[in-house]
Chains A and B, each alone.
Chain A
Amino acid sequence: MQYKSQAVAKPYFIAAIGLFIGQILFGLIMGLQYVVGDFLFPAIPFNIARMVHTNLLIVWLLFGFMGAAYYMVPEESETELYSPRLAMALFWIFLVAGALTIVGYLMVPYAKLAEMTGNDLLATMGREFLEQPLLTKVGIVIVALGFLFNLTLTLLKGRKTSISLVLLMGLWGLAVFFLFSFYNPENLVKDKFYWWWVVHLWVEGVWELILGALLAFVLIKVTGVDREVIEKWLYVIITLTLITGIIGTGHHYFWIGTPAYWKWWGSIFSALEPIPFFAMTVFAFNMVNRRRRDHPNRAATLWALGTGVMAFLGAGVWGFLHTLAPVNYYTHGTQITAAHGHMAFYGAYVMVVLTIISYAMPVLRGRAANSNRAQVVEMWSFWLMTISMVFITLFLTAAGVLQVWLQRFSTSPLPFMVVQDQISLFYWMREVTGVIFLLGLVAYVASFFVKGEAATLASSTSGRAGIGTQPA
């Protein structure tokens, strides 16, 4: 660790992993409720479990992004963080607010929670992914502003690299677009139209800037490839992302009351959205192949390569699968969407956060890389979680294809619940695969506790180009 203040990243990463575990446990509850409908009812109805599952995902990824930024920006800027104390204060505020929100979901009926937390002052709740009470939403804005203030001032007083500029642009974009979550007009069409300005412009827009910056940072560290090359790639990738992804928002405007021309704009531009992900995969492999050092942290390299591949498959290929309007007419709002959502979030955002944690955590714990044994366990967790997620996606896709056929496409369409019963086999297989994912996650957590002799940069550097032996 080059700068003392980078240490504030550590609690953020630990919190992220803790919330990740919660997310997966609630995912397994929901998965079982798909086939055993009254499981845990009425204690935890499906809608509550889902809210906890998705909100925990968002919050833990945000913890991951914030930890990553606190780790990266001082190092990139070559200066200490503007205020480590502010970073720690915001950590506790965010963690406590997040925990109280989840407890609120679980302990209080949602309508009661809305009443208690001022939803009558400004109705923002009850919309997918934006279910948080008004107080929590305001808290998120305050935390985000403090966080951005801290990082922006750090950047301004130090070296301004492209990686930290792109990261900061992504994070500012994240905060700015979140403000649309406060706009909830009575007109349902307008509500939905601007709801996507948060959801789509996050995950298919500014979050990809964050993703690119994290990946570029880790690739510089583990490959030793020239920064100029990596940063040029980064700009190319995020250019492709935004010129396809912004108008690509139109693929959500096919069937919600918006004009029919969105079918053309949305189909054409979102069909191009796989390109930046493909570029990212090529980028990651290219840089690792051209590496000028063999970094001892092989697990981090594996996660970085995996991010490229899985983001391309989940966000790129599975997104393309149902993005053309004539296809989406039949697949919209089916298990196909669920399949895409799972692999895209895992492949792009979960994996990139695990990449930066994999790289940074050993450094934060005072070593260049974990022991070989610890890395082997971590790599086991990589394969268990990644392969499970591939199969979860395949099973949900199979369920979705059958659902589309039976409920939407057939000449004698069947009712929703009848169809759900007919495809339950695939939900069972998804649930079993979900348990294997959990085992992968257990292995992941365990890898932090595996002892052994820590690897050092010098001892394992083969010195391919004779440089890059100094600790990064």
Chain B
Amino acid sequence: MSGTFSKSMARNVFYGGTAFFVLLFLALSFDTQQALPQRDNRANLTPAVAAGKKIWEVNNCIGCHTLLGEGAYYAPELGNVYKRRGPDFIKVWIKNQPTKVPGRRQMPQFNLTDKQLDDLVEFLKYTSEIDTNNWPPNIEG
């Protein structure tokens, strides 16, 4: 990088290149927003789902599990758990934690009410119906 390529040229390429790609990214993001209604299952985004999402958040579920592949990798993927296990299993499972099996990874007891459990299941059902380009590859997540 010697010769004719000067620092001020490098600086101009930086500002120009960055501005171009910021604008391109914003355009793609805008287009994504327009395309989301067909993919993000918003038709089923009920108040119960919203309440379920909040229960998911305030118990820091993402601190052990993944959801659509994002989160911690300590416990199973839950984006498709509704399809893998079904609503009743999920509720019974959460109620019965921790398993206290020696040496096994333990999930805390969150003391959720029946209403909260129903909302959480609704959230997981809604999540499992998002169009994820066919991810995960199989039901095990």
A interface residues (Cβ-Cβ under 8 A, vs B): 30, 33-34, 36-38, 41-42, 45-48, 50-51, 110-111, 114-115, 119, 123, 125-128, 131, 162, 184, 186-193, 228, 231-233, 235-236, 238-239, 242-243, 246-247, 249-250, 253-260, 262-263, 265, 329-330, 332-335, 337-338, 407-409, 413-417, 420
Contacts and interface: CB of A to CB of B under 8 A. Distances in A.
Nearest to A227: B7
A193 B107 CA distance: 28
Contact of B68 (A36, A51, A192): A192
B86 interface: no
| Majority-rule SS of A interface residues | helix
A193 B76 CA distance: 22
Given A126-B57, A126-B61, A232-B6, A188 B35 contact: no
Given A50-B74, A128-B72, A256 B138 contact: no
A46 B132 CA distance: 28
Interface string B23-40: 011001101100110011
A70 to B, nearest CB: 25
Nearest to B131: A257
A414 B132 CA distance: 21
A246 B53 contact: no
Interface of B: 1, 5-7, 10-11, 13-14, 17-18, 20-22, 24-25, 28-29, 31-32, 35-36, 39-42, 45, 49-50, 53-54, 56-64, 66-77, 98, 100-108, 110, 126-127, 130-133, 135-141
A48 B63 contact: yes
B17 A242 contact: yes
A409 B39 CA distance: 26
A41 B61 CA distance: 16
B111 to A, nearest CB: 9
Contacts of B60: 47-48, 51, 110, 125-126, 131
A410 to B, nearest CB: 9
Nearest to A263: B133
Nearest to B35: A259
A414 B140 contact: yes
Given A38-B102, A38-B104, A187-B45, 13 more contacts: A38-B105, A47-B62, A48-B63, A111-B59, A126-B58, A126-B59, A187-B36, A246-B18, A255-B135, A258-B35, A259-B32, A408-B138, A415-B140
